[in-house]
Chains A and B, each alone.
Chain A
């Protein structure tokens, strides 16, 4: 028999005997399923958050902040600055003038629908151009706010997560009452976590005089960014920081994403170690239980290579099975689960959905295969090294 057919025969023989050891095999697979489930679950949270933060970051939209500001919260720009920014080269224009939106960003407290506890909800005052600058805002219920009136529209995520944000209702912020007149989507992006109002109405309500915190600008093209940025940063009258919207969002999501990923990977690696010991135990028991069988095979002339491979095949198969169970469980439990959390960098809530991406599932199953390989290797070597005579004598 060739080596290959030998290997194949032994592996098959081995797998056929698996039902006899199903309890042990099953526990090993479940151990690995748990590890994979957690890994996928935690990374799905990080991925969902990152996606909500970055999906709407277009490369041809730029954000202008005060220099040194790492978020809109710490930024401030006066009206003159916003005008200068609108006149810079690279800014897209239409009949009404430059496509820019000078915006205010404040936080209000609203109770979460799920727990009733206060959450920091972002309230954004936007300019006329905001809808054209973003380009992805769709009103899905009600209408847009009218300029000059105490009206707000709410992002779909915010409407779902926070109490009182239904069309036709009013929210009270400080001394002011605001009518909720519409709900919008932003292609799943960050804006869906926000409440929008007319910046000109928000300014006096917040004692802001005539200042803004950021200017959002639609550029003529993604390539126009450098020219636009250089023009503003070299302007001696301005003291600003210019970022692409995509980079800005990515920057704001790093801390939370990194936090979740760090903790997730740490927990998952510890658990992987636990599962590895479990798998080793199972495979050693499996080999020990089949000592006589293996010795007989060897006595019949089967080489040690095929024996090693057969044990590895069993171990990897069990791990992959566990991995698939874990990944599937995580997918059905978590994919699309909607929640919200605070982003410390903006001090405000972001609503997002967990996202179990196909790539993540693939990686998780590779991870399980790795555990299976390592967990099977040592027992496989032991099986192959077994002296035939002693093996045959074993009861």
Chain B
């Protein structure tokens, strides 16, 4: 610790350069953190998928519906512990720009299937008691400043208006939170029994089923059995684990996401290269001073450590500053709730960022530090001329 003033003096030697180097590292890591969050968001919740859940959908595509009567038949397949279903409602709140997913579900089955949606008991009870009741996630509730008791009108171009009315209207009876950071709380759920009674098209049809299986190790076997059950019927199914389903969905975005990530990654390293180069240069310029230190009796090893400490401290300060700022900004809220349903900084990105910052400090410092260590005093003193 007693060498701290020495490191500090080294950093202060050219204040402006130190500040600018700090700032470019800061920006690079800010960018790194944002990319981590965007990547996680585009991953479409693959990491949030339940291991013991399967998704059953129409074989041709997700937009084709399945009969509601399949529920009982799926329940009868060996290895199935629970079944619930959802249907894409596609309701529009005022303007298509205000997009959020909204779906009719059977409240009790649904909440049992998805324990990651945390609903207070009183609100759950209210939902069971209110036919037109709906629960909405925190993200969407905050986005539109909805409170419990608000009545939300939705236009549903797919289904048309409900019997006898001009538009659908739901009462918010609960606001749910996510059990984990990455849980999607942008969705809006209302009651299937009300939907079934009021809709005027495709009665008795639902979008897709979620199945809980008793033993996650048998996911593939149970999925095959479910598909077999409905083979050669007018509504053939495709069953896959929730994770595979989410991944398939995310992969529909295609390689543009990975291209952007790769390009930006390359640039991140370019910025680091430029910053690292500057840091190395600032050590090289001080050969003479390092010679003086050695003449005063500093050991080779101590000089090596001093130089490394200097480069690491600027890299770590800049890196952690950038990551920390990004973390603050990201946790303060999702700037684009309509575009990315979940937006948070995963812990492993944060850890990777800190490790990268340390690595940057070491890599930028090691060559000049090595040279400084090997420096012969007489030569160093002569070089200053």
Interface residues of A (CB under 8 A from B): 23-24, 27-28, 30-31, 33-35, 37-38, 41-42, 45, 66, 68-70, 73-75, 106-109, 112, 114-115, 117-120, 173-175, 206-207, 255, 259-260, 262-264, 266-267, 270-271, 273-275, 277-278, 280-281, 284-285, 339-342, 347, 349, 395
- B90 / chain A contacts, CB cutoff of 8 Å: 74
- B260 / chain A contacts, CB cutoff of 8 Å: 41-42, 45, 263-264, 267
Q: Are A174 and B263 in contact (CB under 8 A)?
A: no
Least CB separation from B57: chain A residue = A109
Across the interface, A34 reaches (CB within 8 A) one of B34, B247, B271, namely B271
State how many angstroms separate the Cβ of A171 from the closest Cβ of chain B.
Answer: 11
Q: Are A281 and B278 in contact (CB under 8 A)?
A: yes
Across the interface, A109 reaches (CB within 8 A) one of B61, B157, B278, namely B61
Across the interface, A108 reaches (CB within 8 A) one of B61, B96, B252, B253, namely B61
Q: What are some 7 contacts across the A-B interface (CB < 8 A)?
A: A114-B255, A119-B251, A174-B236, A270-B30, A270-B34, A278-B275, A280-B20
Least CB separation from A206: chain B residue = B64
B132 within 8 A of A: no
Q: Are A277 and B63 in contact (CB under 8 A)?
A: no
- A120 / chain B contacts, CB cutoff of 8 Å: 61-62, 252
- B263 / chain A contacts, CB cutoff of 8 Å: 37-38, 41-42
- B64 / chain A contacts, CB cutoff of 8 Å: 106, 206
Which of B21-29, B73-81, B102-110 has 4 or more CB atoms under 8 Å from chain A? B21-29
What total of chain B residues lie within 8 Å of the partner, measured CB to CB? 53
A37-B267, A347-B63 known; A74-B256 Cβ under 8 A: no
Least CB separation from B233: chain A residue = A175
A117-B251, A339-B256 known; A277-B157 Cβ under 8 A: no
State how many angstroms separate the Cβ of B321 from the closest Cβ of chain A.
Answer: 13
Known A24-B277, A120-B252; further 18 A-B contacts with Cβ < 8 A = A41-B263, A69-B157, A70-B96, A106-B63, A108-B60, A108-B61, A120-B61, A173-B60, A262-B336, A271-B264, A271-B267, A271-B271, A277-B21, A277-B27, A278-B274, A285-B17, A339-B254, A347-B63
State how many angstroms separate the Cβ of A276 from the closest Cβ of chain B.
Answer: 8
Q: Are A284 and B20 in contact (CB under 8 A)?
A: yes
- B275 / chain A contacts, CB cutoff of 8 Å: 278
Q: How long is the Cα–Cα vector from A255 to B38 in the complex, in angstroms?
A: 17
- B271 / chain A contacts, CB cutoff of 8 Å: 31, 34, 271, 274-275, 278
Q: Are A342 and B253 in contact (CB under 8 A)?
A: yes
Q: How long is the Cα–Cα vector from A75 to B201 in the complex, in angstroms?
A: 13
- A118 / chain B contacts, CB cutoff of 8 Å: 248
Across the interface, A107 reaches (CB within 8 A) one of B27, B28, B38, B61, namely B61
Across the interface, B31 reaches (CB within 8 A) one of A119, A174, A267, namely A267
Q: Are B20 and A341 in contact (CB under 8 A)?
A: no
Q: How long is the Cα–Cα vector from A277 to B336 in the complex, in angstroms?
A: 28
Q: How long is the Cα–Cα vector from A176 to B176 in the complex, in angstroms?
A: 43
Cβ contacts B240-280/A at 8 Å (1 or 0 each): 00000001100111111001100110110011011101100
Across the interface, B27 reaches (CB within 8 A) one of A69, A173, A207, A274, namely A274
Cβ contacts B82-116/A at 8 Å (1 or 0 each): 00000000101000100000000000000000000
Q: How long is the Cα–Cα vector from A395 to B233 in the complex, in angstroms?
A: 89
- B16 / chain A contacts, CB cutoff of 8 Å: 284
A24-B281, A34-B270, A106-B61 known; A74-B21 Cβ under 8 A: no
Q: How long is the Cα–Cα vector from A38 to B64 in the complex, in angstroms?
A: 39
State how many angstroms separate the Cβ of B277 from the closest Cβ of chain A.
Answer: 5
Q: Are A38 and B24 in contact (CB under 8 A)?
A: no
B9 within 8 A of A: no
Q: How long is the Cα–Cα vector from A45 to B260 in the complex, in angstroms?
A: 9
State how many angstroms separate the Cβ of B285 from the closest Cβ of chain A.
Answer: 10
Q: How long is the Cα–Cα vector from A126 to B369 in the complex, in angstroms?
A: 72
Q: Are A68 and B155 in contact (CB under 8 A)?
A: yes
Q: Are B267 and A45 in contact (CB under 8 A)?
A: no
- B277 / chain A contacts, CB cutoff of 8 Å: 23-24, 27
Q: Are B254 and A340 in contact (CB under 8 A)?
A: yes
Cβ contacts B150-170/A at 8 Å (1 or 0 each): 000001011000000000000
- B256 / chain A contacts, CB cutoff of 8 Å: 45, 260, 339, 341
State how many angstroms separate the Cβ of B252 from the closest Cβ of chain A.
Answer: 4
A37-B267, A284-B20 known; A30-B31 Cβ under 8 A: no
Least CB separation from A340: chain B residue = B254
> Which residue, A73, A75, A109, has most C-beta atoms of chain B within 10 A?
A109
B5 within 8 A of A: no
Q: How long is the Cα–Cα vector from A120 to B255 in the complex, in angstroms?
A: 15
- A117 / chain B contacts, CB cutoff of 8 Å: 247-248, 251
- A75 / chain B contacts, CB cutoff of 8 Å: 157
- A284 / chain B contacts, CB cutoff of 8 Å: 16-17, 20
Q: Are B274 and A27 in contact (CB under 8 A)?
A: yes
Q: Are B17 and A281 in contact (CB under 8 A)?
A: yes
- A274 / chain B contacts, CB cutoff of 8 Å: 24, 27-28, 31, 271
